[in-house]
Amino acid sequence: MFGRRMGSRHRKSDEPEKPFWISFADLMTGVMVIFLVTMALKYIEQPPQCPPFKQCYECPTCVTTVPESFRTVSNGVDNIKCTEFIEKNIDKATFPDVTIQNFSVFFGSATQFKHNDHCLNRSQRKRIREITKIILTAAKDSSCEGKIKRYLVEGFTDPSGSYLANLVLSQQRSTSVMLALLEPDADSPLIDDEVKMIPKSFVVDGYSYQSNKLNPEESRRVEYRLLFDELTSQQGQFSPVGERSVKEIIKGWKIHMDRLQCQI
């Protein structure tokens, strides 16, 4: 009996001792699990990233999850949706070369000028009024209402000629477009409410031979740039223009056409 007890105690002493520290493999497995859980929680907490402006509204949660500091992104999306709505309302069968890119309306042949010329013929003036009426009507829709603050009428020239000569010429071209909009007793005239919008919302500018197109013919043009922010001066926002009658607005139209030396 005594011998059997001693033998049993001897076999126990031969068993290896279990280590106090966990194995290296178990340690790395635990670290990896903690890392994966941390990354998963961080991804869940992070709001979805908005793609560039044009695709942003295609993401169902994009606009609603834009932080306050990035609110301009949401505004940019609304502005793009507005310009796309306007472009959809322009009949491509009637106006195949009218496009809107980067918030600028390109009229195609309707506002293309001859070399060193700033006058528009009767057909071009009618076409400009028709396109403008479509734009102003679409701008009243809920997709755009209140978003467009100004329409900048921009004149351009081709690269030939001096800078100053082209600067004057580009401004004369944009002025010709304004006169086309306010032409009295014309085909497809603007209605009274649209005429009253011209002094309030349309601004004329000229850019000489800057922003050229691929060929000189397309460079000699006038475009509308849609402005979604109020124009401001160094002293602050410009004061609004007072209401004027249609008669006051179009007064002296023929005189100014004669000054430009353009045929009616």
Q: How far apart are alpha carbons 37 and 43 in whole angstroms? A: 10
Span 181-230, pLDDT tens digits: 999 988 889 999 999 999 989 999 998 777 788 888 889 999 999 998 76
User: Do 190 and 60 share a structural domain?
Assistant: no
Amino acid at 234: Q
Domain boundary among 88, 113, 148: 88
DSSP calls for 7-29: HHHHHHHTSPPPPSSPPHHHHHH
pLDDT one-digit tens code per residue, 125-166: 999 999 999 999 999 998 888 889 999 999 999 999 899 999
Tokens of 162: 């001096």
Q: Which of 88, 108, 142 is the last residue of a domain?
A: 88
Angstrom distance (rounded) from CA 205 to CA 186 = 25
Residue 238 lies in a domain: yes
Q: Flag whether 2 is in a domain.
A: no
Report yes or no on 19 lying in a domain: no
Same domain, 108 and 180: yes
- The answer to whether residues 78 and 105 belong to one domain is no
Whether residues 128 and 83 fall in one domain: no
CATH number for the domain including 146?
Answer: 3.30.1330.60
Domain stops at, among 58, 88, 118? 88
Q: Which domain holds residue 67?
A: 50-88
Residues 242 and 173 in one domain: yes
- What's the CA angle centered on 115, arms 111 and 121, to 5 degrees? 40
Evaluate whether residue 43 is within a structural domain: no
Signed CA dihedral, 13, 19, 20, 26: sign only: negative
Residues 120 and 203 in one domain: yes
Query: Domain count of the chain?
Result: 2
Query: Do residue 113 and residue 208 come from a single domain?
Result: yes
Is 74 strand, coil or helix? helix
Task: Output the CA angle 228-233-236, nearest 5 degrees.
Answer: 90
Count Cβ atoms below 10 Å from residue 43 Cβ, excluding itself. Answer: 8
The per-residue pLDDT for range 231-262, each reduced to its tens digit, is 554 445 555 556 778 888 888 898 989 988 89
In this structure, is residue 205 part of a structural domain? yes
The pLDDT tens digits of the residues spanning 63-112 come to 444 444 334 445 678 888 899 999 999 999 999 999 998 899 999 999 99
List of residues 6+ apart from 145 with CB closer than 8 A: 139
Is the pTM value of this prediction over 0.85? no
